[in-house]
Amino acid sequence: MSTQVHNEIIKVMEERHAVKEYQKGVKIPKEHLQQLLQAATLAPSAWNLQHWKFLVIEEDAYKEKLLPIAYGQKQIVESSVVVAVLGDLQANLKVDSVFGPLVEAGFLPQETKDALAGQINGAYQNSQVARDEAIRNASLAAMQLMLAAKGLGYDSGPMGGFDPAKLIQEFNIPERYLPVMLIAVGTAATPARASSRLSLDEVVVSNTF
């Protein structure tokens, strides 16, 4: 990777801030929305099971339906789109779709696939593992989505303030999926509030505590 490309990536990270006020009525072109969602799917995941599902809420009627679920936070209705990031509690069911094509193409021996399937399904006997992996890996995709949005010139803001049970009920989300966060995406009406970051001395430990 060239230094120039590296610096551009860091610049996007530095410029991304959580925005709470958006220019209402701004539409994101379909191709841009597809781009940022596609970029989100490039996030890493345990066993490459891609433990995410994106519920994309664009229409005003559905935003209004979401508004009370998100405790009236106005970015729900002012932003261009809200993406509900869901974690897959049954990601182990993707084993065949993830690894099957690799076996067929000759990139993965069948016995290796079978061993991975046994390992994964064994781990998923523990509901806590399933929940942890759903949240952990969907969160990686969520961060990637926000960086992609900034790279395309849009602003975003993650939202943890919502009622998961009501979201599931009102938007007919299958039991398989766990709401992880909402992400508002659009064009900022006012700049994000200034924020500070702890120094590296406060957050980094070398080798061991």
Q: What is the pLDDT of residue 5?
A: 63
Beta strands 155-159; 52-57: pairing state: unpaired
Look up tokens 């061991």; give the residue: 208
List the chain domain ranges: 17-44+51-88+138-203
E-strand ranges in the chain read: 52-57, 81-88, 155-159, 177-186
Q: What is the pLDDT of residue 144?
A: 97
Q: How far is CA 85 from CA 153, 181, 185, 193, 204, in A?
A: 21, 5, 13, 24, 29
- How many CB atoms lie under 10 A from the CB of residue 98? 17
Q: What is the pLDDT of residues 163-183, one digit of tens each?
A: 999 999 999 999 999 999 999
Candidate from 129-143, 154-168, 183-197 with smallest mean pLDDT: 183-197
Q: What's the mean pLDDT when you consider all of the chain?
A: 96
Q: What is the pLDDT of residue 195?
A: 85
CATH of domain 17-44+51-88+138-203: 3.40.109.10
C-alpha 75/C-alpha 65 separation (Å) is: 13
Q: What is the pLDDT of residue 192?
A: 85
Over residues 103-108, mean pLDDT = 97
Q: What is the pLDDT of residues 110-139, one digit of tens each?
A: 999 999 999 999 999 999 999 999 999 999
DSSP code of residue 193: P
